Structure 1
Amino acid sequence: MLQLKQDLAFWYFGGLGAVSWTQLKFLGPGLVLGLLLTLLLAPQLNLAYLTDDNAQSLGKSLPLLRGLALICAVILSGISVALVGTITFVGLMIPHMARWLVGANYRNSMPLTLILGATLTVGADLIARLVNPPHETPFGIIISLIGVPCFIYLARKEPMKA
């Protein structure tokens, strides 16, 4: 029972230490497929700024595009949560950082989001391993320490609309 509690706590805060090659072998193809589909859809996602009628006049189906993007998001988030647990704030901070760096064009911001998200995750895991050796601090704690100030900044930057 104690091990189950420790495993649940570790999964809740996230960590890369428990990921095995067997898990990667099993979930890797879905991860690669989701990433490829996301990168292929990225240029077309700019159409989401249009209305359905405007997109249809261009010969594009916005509901289909939204559905495919949703499927990619569900696949990628499901696999990442299954592998490393919940990693709060990465999905909130990184897309905003990427848009700030390269603009709102998904053709540029989507690949940068993938790279920055992976970099933050690996960097936070490295810091978490160095904080209390030989024990591993869950890297979700490190990400939260970075994410809370970013979240406060984003919340204060955007004016609330009633």
Structure 2
Amino acid sequence: MTGPNQHRKKLIIWIPILLIVLFFSVLFSVSVGSAEIDVITVWLVICSKLPWIGEGIDPSWKDSTETIIWNIRMPRIVLGMLVGSALATAGAIYQGVLRNPLADPFILGVSSGSALGAALVFLFGWHTLLLGKLTLPVVAFVSGLFTLFIVYVLARINHRLQMETLILAGVVVQAFISSMLSLTLALAEEKMQTIMYWMMGSLTLTDWSYNGIVLPFIIVSLIIVTFLMRELNMLGLGEEAAYHTGVSVQKVRLVLLIVASLLTGAAVSVSGTIGFVGLIIPHMIRLIFGSDYRVILPLSVIGGAIFLVGADMIARTILEPRELPIGIITAFLGAPFFGYLLRKKKTNYF
């Protein structure tokens, strides 16, 4: 764990660097696509939507060009940033609370529950019912939270929450939900391809309203975690050490698990199950910068956004005009890089 001055120095240096990388990632991503639009036009359209700046720009482009850039590409890129940030932050929290550098946002079955809810929406054609276009993400999110509640009830024994029991409960619930998903796919017939594509991860919900589903959870979660960074660092030293430093282990652990699960549920509800983001990004940052969560969490937020924006750009352009599920790209990018890091810098994580 680094001292207060060391962690501030790292953040002062690396947050601006990563923000610059994120800016250029967005710049490049929004400028590429099946519709050939030059970079200058792309950024004139974007700047025209900004307050004060936009008033001095004369719109000389076609309405279709503006629709492509502002209503299709930008919402998707912003959604990728939000989902990447949410998954990376959730992964960092899970790895700290469970003291397991290989823990990821899907460890407690929240993603499986969300996937089952989404599969049922596709199967029964609820897209236009209930909440209209928001039916899919809302049902997926609620089913993910319900899964978390079941896991928590199963894991709570004698009014205490043990990590081993919690993980085991997650495995059991995931196994049951997987069987339900298999049954849903068997009944889906012509809708099977749609369900499978969503389950492999996708950012095709290109509408600004979907960004509003994830953003509040990221903001609230980051505020909560900011006040619990010291406790999260203490948990990394072990329960007994954390207890003797004045940490209310059970309460802090429960709050952090709920926050991480809410982030996971919100991300999965709008993007499907995208693997490796929550595993790779915080783990990579820990390998490079150490185990201080005052550094890991802020850098994970930006790193997750960069990673998913880049992966989505590859997914929609590599086989153009066809589009690959983004989960395939994150696996191809994440697995080799993860192996390289483990070989390059073997260290004690906690």
Report the CA distance between 1:27 and its aligned residue: 4.3
Structure 1 match to 2:226: 39
Instruction: Say whether residues 1:106 and 2:301 are aligned partners.
Output: no
Structure 1 match to 2:252: 65
Unaligned runs of 5+ in 1: none
What is the Cα-based RMSD across aligned positions, in Å? 2.5
Q: Distance between the aligned counterparts of 1:89 and 1:52, measured in 2?
A: 27
Report the CA distance between 1:152 and its aligned residue: 4.0
The 3 A distance-change label for structure 1 pair 28 and 49 is closer
The 3 A distance-change label for structure 1 pair 48 and 21 is same
Contact 1:14 1:139 in 2 (8 A): yes
Deviation per CA, 1:10-59: give whole Å up to 9, x if none: 21111212243333334432332223323332333101033434333322
- The letter for the 2-side match of 1:139 is I
Instruction: Say whether residues 1:16 and 2:203 are aligned partners.
Output: yes
TM-score in terms of structure 2 length: 0.41
Structure 1 match to 2:281: 94
Contact 1:39 1:111 in 2 (8 A): no
Bigger mean CA offset, 12-21 vs 101-110: 12-21
Contact 1:35 1:76 in 2 (8 A): no
* Selected match of 2:212 from 22, 25, 44: 25
Report the CA distance between 1:153 and its aligned residue: 4.5
* Selected match of 1:78 from 262, 265, 268: 265
The 3 A distance-change label for structure 1 pair 16 and 50 is same
Q: Distance between the aligned counterparts of 1:40 and 1:3, measured in 2?
A: 49
Contact 1:47 1:62 in 2 (8 A): no
Percent of aligned positions that are identical: 39
Bigger mean CA offset, 53-62 vs 105-114: 53-62
Contact 2:231 2:242 in 1 (8 A): no
Contact 2:214 2:267 in 1 (8 A): no
Unaligned runs of 5+ in 2: 1-187
Q: Distance between the aligned counterparts of 2:206 and 2:226, measured in 1?
A: 25
Deviation per CA, 1:49-104: give whole Å up to 9, x if none: 33434333322212211111101110011111111111111122111111122110
Instruction: Say whether residues 1:147 and 2:345 are aligned partners.
Output: no
Q: Match of 1:137, SS?
A: coil
Q: How many residues align?
A: 159
Bigger mean CA offset, 46-55 vs 133-142: 46-55
The 3 A distance-change label for structure 1 pair 105 and 155 is closer
Deviation per CA, 1:97-153: give whole Å up to 9, x if none: 111221100000111112111111111001111112233221111111112223444
